Amino acid sequence: MNIIRKEPLNSLGYGFIAKQYIPKGKDEYYLRNRQNRNDTIYRPLSNSAIKLLVKNGNSSDNWSMVLVSEFFDPSLVKNCKFYGLVRIGKLEPYFHEFNNLRMPVGLYNSTIISSDIGDNAVIDNVGFMSHYITGNDVMLVNINELATTDHAKFGNGVLKQERKKM
């Protein structure tokens, strides 16, 4: 039998690392901050940017947790939901092409949870993106689920002491 837990919506995107594994004086983002090695300085969204984002069908559980680079163009973000700490690099009016796939830079029709997005990324129709750090000029298109956990084995996980078996 599958167990489905109900949690408050305002906890979505938070608590990636259990409190007992966070070193004293650190927060749940300390490893993420260390892994995200770009030189981008993030700032809070302006009131006018939030108004445009909402007008374009976007939502956030807490707009103060959506941080952006200096060269962020909010008109290139449409129909997205943001939860937790989301950091977005610069978005400029270009398109990327890979093999014959041509897509405009920006974030479209996606749910993004506690992730860092590099400069000029294309994220379109990503149903669920959780706890990822993407590079610059990344193209993520038509993906149902892209999620990592605190026990992932490919670099986003948190090393824990193994429990001894009795």
Say how many domains are in the chain.
1
Q: Hey, what amino acid is at 7?
A: E
Residues sharing a CB contact under 8 Å with residue 6, sequence separation 6 or more, in sequence order = none
* pLDDT (tens place) for every residue of the chain, 166 residues total: 789 989 888 888 888 888 888 889 888 887 778 777 677 889 999 999 999 999 999 999 999 999 999 999 999 999 999 999 999 999 999 999 999 999 999 999 999 999 999 999 999 999 999 999 999 999 999 999 998 866 665 555 555 556 566 5
Q: Which residues pair with 59 in a beta bridge?
A: 81
Task: Name the phi and psi angles at 165, rounded to 5.
Answer: -80, 140
CA–CA dist 160, 73 (Å, integer):
40
Alpha carbon 110 to its chain's center? 10
Domain containing 47: what range? 16-147
Q: Is residue 108 part of a domain?
A: yes
Q: Hey, what amino acid is at 12?
A: L
